[in-house]
Amino acid sequence: MPEEWSASLAARGERSFTAKQVFHWIHRRGVLDPAAMTNLPARLREHLVAEGLGEVLTPERVHRSEDGTRKLLLRLRDGATIETVLLPSVSGPGSQAQLDADAAAGDDTDDEDDDAGSDAGAAPRVRVTQCISTQVGCAMGCGFCASGVAGLKRHLGPEEIAGQVLLGRALLEEGEELRNVVYMGMGEPLHNYEATARSLRLLTHPEGINLSTRRVTVSTSGLVPEIARLGADFGGQIALAISLHAADDATRSALMPINRKYPLDELLAALRAYPLPRRRRITIEYTLVAGQNDDPAEARRLAKLLRGIPVKINLIPMNPIEASSLGPPGLERVAAFQEVLTQAGYSCFVRRRRGDDVSAACGQLVLLGAKPKVRRAVG
């Protein structure tokens, strides 16, 4: 944060505006190498090098899919690798593609009020959603997830989390705009709470990347105390996505071990208590796994369970992973599940796979496209 740079640089007798300059170099221009911070005095640049400031992530590979999805493989200083994905969508006002991206990113179409007017007559822009990782692997052990099967190798630091967005932004193409960031890559963000919270502050800092809090979505498997903490620390402004994947405890515990620690009644109470701003909704993610949680009776239970909570539901047919024999249900079964929820009055989307032709080692990363069934553009 610039305030912290200010304190540490003031202690060295630097003038106060140098703190802002350093922060701007990093967060506005994406430059982490002090040697390239040309408007800083040489002795300060040397000090920053000595303090260890420098690149924390090195792009190793970029896979570009035919649909424009780009998956970046990034190497950390200790040699571990993580992934981040850029998902572009052409955005005529109210276009289908925009709705897709909004649904993926947890945007409510009904609070798209900030630029509706100013878009009139403008050339279509390409809005990009970036999906970022918070850990190398994950400790939560969900059986359908590549990160869960791999287990936790280590937490990422805040600079490694926010740094993914600096690199993603540097890869934006002509006409593209970074619009949303979703914490849906590798790892459980709320298991790495401190670093996640700090990265949220960095990404939304007005002197930096300056993302709007409501365009940043944190997805969690349901760490109840940390959901409350996130709500309190950010006043409910950060968009929340919950990986529910079942509507009864037995089914959920079988798919997601975390449910044994925080069962559904506690999780639902945490959602009810989240200080959600008016007209905003919590995204419910529901990965459909054949024979496990895809029965229409489970959809009915889900409809009942969520009653009274402002939600929208994203159904995600499971992306098969090598380490598991679990897989997605057929299309008809997916449609039947959706129909129950739609009939019950929920806004319910089926996500389609994107970036299929880039290798999908980290299944969830390529599952951000969405196909709205019930909610269409209004004007």
Binding mask 156-175 for ligand SAH (x = CB under 6 A): --------------------
Nearer to ligand SAH, 318 or 370 (CB): 318
Are 270 and 224 in contact by the 8 Å Cβ rule? The answer is: yes
Report the nearest approach of ligand SF4 to the CB of residue 164 (Å).
15
- Which three-class secondary structure state does DSSP give residue 83? strand
For residue 149, which of 273, 319, 378, 26 has the smallest C-alpha distance? 319
C-alpha–C-alpha distance, residues 93 and 313, integer Å: 23
CA–CA distances in Å: residue 356 to residues 144, 181, 194, 226: 18, 21, 33, 33
Q: Tell me, yes or no, if 3 is annotated catalytic.
A: no
Binding mask 197-236 for ligand SF4 (x = CB under 6 A): ------------------------x---------------
Binding mask 332-361 for ligand SF4 (x = CB under 6 A): ------------------------------
**Cβ contacts of residue 90 below 8 Å, gap of 6+?**
97, 98, 124, 126
What residues numbered 240-269 form the site for ligand SF4, per CB under 6 A?
243
Q: Tell me, yes or no, if 362 is annotated catalytic.
A: yes
Binding mask 217-236 for ligand SAH (x = CB under 6 A): --xxx---------------
Element (H, E) at 63: strand 57-64
Picked from ligand SAH, ligand SF4, none, the partner binding residue 222 (CB below 5 to 8 A depending on kind) is none
For tokens 């402004």, the residue is: 237
CA–CA distances in Å: residue 329 to residues 148, 261, 302, 312: 21, 28, 18, 21
Nearer to ligand SF4, 141 or 327 (CB): 141
> For ligand SAH, which residue of 188, 226, 294, 298 counts as binding (CB under 6 A)?
188
Find the part of the chain contacting ligand SAH (CB under 6 A) among 172-180, 195-203, 311-319, 338-346: 311-319
Q: Compute the C-alpha angle 224/228/230, nearest 5°.
A: 110
DSSP-assigned letter for residue 82: E
Cβ neighbours, 10 Å, residue 182: 24
Q: Which of 142, 145, 348, 362 is catalytic?
A: 362
Is 293 a binder of ligand SF4 (CB under 6 A)? no
C-alpha–C-alpha distance, residues 86 and 366, integer Å: 9
What residues numbered 62-101 form the site for ligand SAH, per CB under 6 A?
none
Is 180 a binder of ligand SAH (CB under 6 A)? no
Is 367 a binder of ligand SAH (CB under 6 A)? yes
Report the nearest approach of ligand SF4 to the CB of residue 56 (Å).
21
Binding site residues, ligand SF4, CB under 6 A:
138, 140-142, 145, 147-148, 187-188, 221, 243
Q: Which residues are part of the catalytic machinery?
A: 83, 362
